Amino acid sequence: MIDKRMDILVRMQKDLKTVCNNISLAYIPNPEEFPYIWINQTENPVAVVDMDNQECAVKPVIELHIQYQGNPEDGFRIAGEVDNTMRNMFFNRIQGWKQPAEINDSSILSLTAVYSRIIADGDYI
Protein backbone atom coordinates (compact mmCIF):
# COMPACT_ATOMS: atom_id res chain seq x y z
CA MET A 1 0.00 0.00 0.00
CA ILE A 2 1.28 3.44 -0.93
CA ASP A 3 0.90 5.79 2.04
CA LYS A 4 2.91 9.01 2.21
CA ARG A 5 1.39 10.58 5.36
CA MET A 6 4.65 10.34 7.32
CA ASP A 7 6.62 11.80 4.41
CA ILE A 8 4.20 14.73 4.22
CA LEU A 9 4.46 15.27 7.99
CA VAL A 10 8.27 15.23 7.96
CA ARG A 11 8.43 17.62 4.99
CA MET A 12 5.97 20.05 6.59
CA GLN A 13 7.80 19.95 9.93
CA LYS A 14 11.06 20.72 8.13
CA ASP A 15 9.75 23.44 5.81
CA LEU A 16 7.48 25.15 8.36
CA LYS A 17 9.72 25.02 11.45
CA THR A 18 9.96 28.84 11.60
CA VAL A 19 6.18 29.20 11.24
CA CYS A 20 4.76 26.33 13.32
CA ASN A 21 6.32 23.83 15.73
CA ASN A 22 3.10 21.92 16.41
CA ILE A 23 2.23 19.80 13.35
CA SER A 24 0.56 16.42 13.83
CA LEU A 25 -1.14 13.51 12.09
CA ALA A 26 -3.26 13.07 15.21
CA TYR A 27 -6.11 15.43 16.02
CA ILE A 28 -5.57 17.33 19.27
CA PRO A 29 -8.84 18.96 20.40
CA ASN A 30 -7.14 21.40 22.78
CA PRO A 31 -3.54 21.95 21.67
CA GLU A 32 -1.22 23.46 24.25
CA GLU A 33 0.78 25.39 21.67
CA PHE A 34 -0.40 27.58 18.79
CA PRO A 35 -0.32 27.64 15.88
CA TYR A 36 -1.29 23.99 15.48
CA ILE A 37 -1.61 22.16 12.15
CA TRP A 38 -3.47 18.87 11.85
CA ILE A 39 -2.77 16.78 8.74
CA ASN A 40 -5.78 14.55 8.07
CA GLN A 41 -5.63 12.09 5.16
CA THR A 42 -9.33 11.63 4.44
CA GLU A 43 -8.92 9.38 1.39
CA ASN A 44 -6.18 7.31 -0.24
CA PRO A 45 -7.87 5.50 -3.15
CA VAL A 46 -5.94 3.38 -5.61
CA ALA A 47 -5.53 5.22 -8.91
CA VAL A 48 -3.50 2.67 -10.93
CA VAL A 49 -2.81 -1.07 -10.69
CA ASP A 50 -0.48 -3.16 -12.86
CA MET A 51 -1.22 -6.41 -14.70
CA ASP A 52 -0.54 -8.37 -11.48
CA ASN A 53 -3.16 -6.26 -9.64
CA GLN A 54 -0.42 -4.53 -7.62
CA GLU A 55 -1.01 -0.95 -6.50
CA CYS A 56 1.09 1.47 -8.59
CA ALA A 57 -0.40 4.86 -7.70
CA VAL A 58 -2.86 6.46 -5.29
CA LYS A 59 -4.68 9.79 -5.16
CA PRO A 60 -4.67 10.89 -1.51
CA VAL A 61 -6.90 13.67 -0.26
CA ILE A 62 -5.18 15.66 2.49
CA GLU A 63 -7.21 17.96 4.72
CA LEU A 64 -5.18 20.57 6.58
CA HIS A 65 -6.52 22.34 9.65
CA ILE A 66 -4.71 25.33 11.13
CA GLN A 67 -5.65 26.56 14.59
CA TYR A 68 -4.09 29.83 15.74
CA GLN A 69 -4.54 32.77 18.04
CA GLY A 70 -4.33 36.34 16.83
CA ASN A 71 -5.98 38.11 13.95
CA PRO A 72 -7.19 36.64 10.64
CA GLU A 73 -4.16 38.03 8.79
CA ASP A 74 -1.88 35.85 10.96
CA GLY A 75 -3.83 32.76 9.94
CA PHE A 76 -3.75 33.58 6.24
CA ARG A 77 0.01 34.26 6.46
CA ILE A 78 0.49 30.76 7.95
CA ALA A 79 -1.89 29.34 5.33
CA GLY A 80 0.25 30.92 2.60
CA GLU A 81 3.38 29.22 3.94
CA VAL A 82 1.54 25.89 4.21
CA ASP A 83 0.23 26.33 0.67
CA ASN A 84 3.78 26.93 -0.63
CA THR A 85 4.99 23.73 1.04
CA MET A 86 2.11 21.66 -0.34
CA ARG A 87 2.62 23.08 -3.85
CA ASN A 88 6.35 22.28 -3.58
CA MET A 89 5.26 18.66 -3.02
CA PHE A 90 3.11 18.97 -6.20
CA PHE A 91 -0.21 18.90 -4.36
CA ASN A 92 -3.08 20.93 -5.81
CA ARG A 93 -5.43 22.80 -3.50
CA ILE A 94 -8.94 21.59 -4.33
CA GLN A 95 -10.78 23.45 -1.59
CA GLY A 96 -10.11 26.33 0.79
CA TRP A 97 -8.70 28.13 2.58
CA LYS A 98 -11.91 28.68 4.53
CA GLN A 99 -12.99 29.27 8.09
CA PRO A 100 -15.21 26.52 9.50
CA ALA A 101 -18.67 27.64 10.61
CA GLU A 102 -18.60 26.01 14.04
CA ILE A 103 -16.43 27.82 16.59
CA ASN A 104 -16.19 26.48 20.15
CA ASP A 105 -13.67 29.00 21.51
CA SER A 106 -13.69 32.51 20.08
CA SER A 107 -10.04 33.05 21.11
CA ILE A 108 -8.92 30.25 18.75
CA LEU A 109 -9.28 30.85 15.03
CA SER A 110 -9.24 28.11 12.43
CA LEU A 111 -8.64 27.68 8.69
CA THR A 112 -9.11 24.55 6.58
CA ALA A 113 -7.98 23.52 3.09
CA VAL A 114 -7.98 20.30 1.07
CA TYR A 115 -5.21 19.13 -1.29
CA SER A 116 -4.74 16.18 -3.62
CA ARG A 117 -2.36 14.71 -6.21
CA ILE A 118 -1.45 11.40 -7.82
CA ILE A 119 1.43 9.65 -6.03
CA ALA A 120 3.13 6.74 -7.76
CA ASP A 121 4.99 3.96 -6.01
CA GLY A 122 8.53 5.23 -5.51
CA ASP A 123 7.66 8.95 -5.69
CA TYR A 124 9.51 11.17 -3.25
CA ILE A 125 7.70 13.86 -1.33
Strands 36-43 and 92-98: unpaired
Residue-by-residue DSSP string for 53-84 = --EEEE--EEEEEEEE-S-HHHHHHHHHHHHH
What would the mean pLDDT of 8-18 be, rounded to a whole number? 97
Closest CA to 48 of 125, 118, 123: 118
pLDDT per residue over 55-114, tens digit each? 999 999 999 999 999 888 899 999 999 999 999 999 999 998 998 766 677 778 899 999
| Domains parsed from the chain with CATH numbers | 4-120 (3.30.2000.30)
**54 CA to centre of own chain:** 27
Question: How many Å apart are CA 36 and CA 38, to the nearest integer?
Answer: 7
Give tens-digit pLDDT for 16-41: 999 999 999 999 988 999 999 999 99
Per-residue pLDDT, 111: 94
pLDDT at site 36: 96
pLDDT at 71: 85
The dihedral region occupied by 25, where left means phi > 0, alpha psi between -120 and 50, and beta the remainder, is alpha
pLDDT value of position 103: 66
